[in-house]
Amino acid sequence: MNSRRTLQAVALTASVSLLSACATSSVDNTAPEGIVSNTTQAYVSGVPGGVTTQRAVMLASVEQVDYQARTLTLRGPSGNVQTLKVSEAAENFSTIVKGDQVKVAFIEELVVHVRDKHSGDSDSAVVMLGKAATGTPNVMAAVQTQHIAEVRAIDEANHTAILQFADGSLRKVDVRPDVPLSDASLGKEVVLQITEAMAISVEHANPQ
């Protein structure tokens, strides 16, 4: 069950595609068997950055439940097994049993915008928990992170830019043809705001 890792890997790559993206919606035909994945992207013409959202949904069966540790061990459609930590926000967790079927949805949204250099912000992370509806064992949790990079160099001929991140790493990105690129871009900041969310809904094997 590598859906979440796949979404995480997409995040930085998406920062590149957002600078060169168009308003599109596509289905990922390379997703593992049993996983439905799609990506949508949107931007304003002439404005660098935009929004990309990737969603992946899969069905899995409950192999093991640890009520004290609040963990679920799930088997995916391809036979792969993964253990998930379930937050206190999930009501009726104790009703989940081995053999239940669950639907796991992973959502990742990446918002990218460019601004003048501003020293007030820095890389950060926020964890959020959503409370499920009363009487259901559903759970939803989300993590928001922010990364800031500076435009260190541009190549007008190839319409690319070099970004430097807080850890000192450099990355070349393509810039959309409709976005003006000049020396005025040097020193500007590219802000990446990533929201990763996971929701689990349960269908009991032996409903009462």
Tens-place pLDDT, residues 176-196: 888 889 999 999 999 989 888
Token pair, residue 172, equals 């070349």
Residue 69 pLDDT greater than 60, yes or no: yes
Beta-carbon contacts of 158 under 8 Å, excluding residues fewer than 6 positions away, are: none
Residue 79 lies in a domain: yes
Residue 91 pLDDT greater than 70, yes or no: no
Question: pTM for this one?
Answer: 0.64
Residue 94 pLDDT greater than 60, yes or no: yes
Between 66 and 199, name the one with better pLDDT.
66
Residue 87 pLDDT greater than 90, yes or no: no
Residue 208 lies in a domain: no
Mean pLDDT, the chain, as a whole number?
76
Residue 76 lies in a domain: yes
pLDDT on residue 157: 93
pLDDT band at 44 (very low <50, low <70, confident <90, very high): confident
Beta bridge partners of 193: 111, 146
Residue 15 lies in a domain: yes
Cα–Cα distance, 90 to 184 (Å, whole number): 50
> Could you give the number of structural domains in the chain?
1
pLDDT band at 68 (very low <50, low <70, confident <90, very high): very high
pLDDT tens digits for 8-31?
433 333 444 444 444 555 555 555
Residue 34 lies in a domain: yes
Residue 158 lies in a domain: yes
CA distances from 122 to 9, 84, 157 (A): 21, 30, 32
Residue 189 lies in a domain: yes
By percentage, how much of the chain surpasses pLDDT 90?
22
Residue 171 lies in a domain: yes
pLDDT band at 5 (very low <50, low <70, confident <90, very high): very low
- Residue 95's identity, in one-letter code, is T
Cα–Cα distance, 24 to 53 (Å, whole number): 11
Cα–Cα distance, 30 to 107 (Å, whole number): 17
pLDDT on residue 29: 55
Q: Which range of residues forms the domain containing residue 88?
A: 3-203
Beta-carbon contacts of 106 under 8 Å, excluding residues fewer than 6 positions away, are: 3, 4, 7, 55, 56, 57, 196, 197, 198
Between 120 and 49, name the one with better pLDDT.
49
Top mean pLDDT of 51-60, 82-91, 130-139 is at: 51-60
pLDDT on residue 98: 92
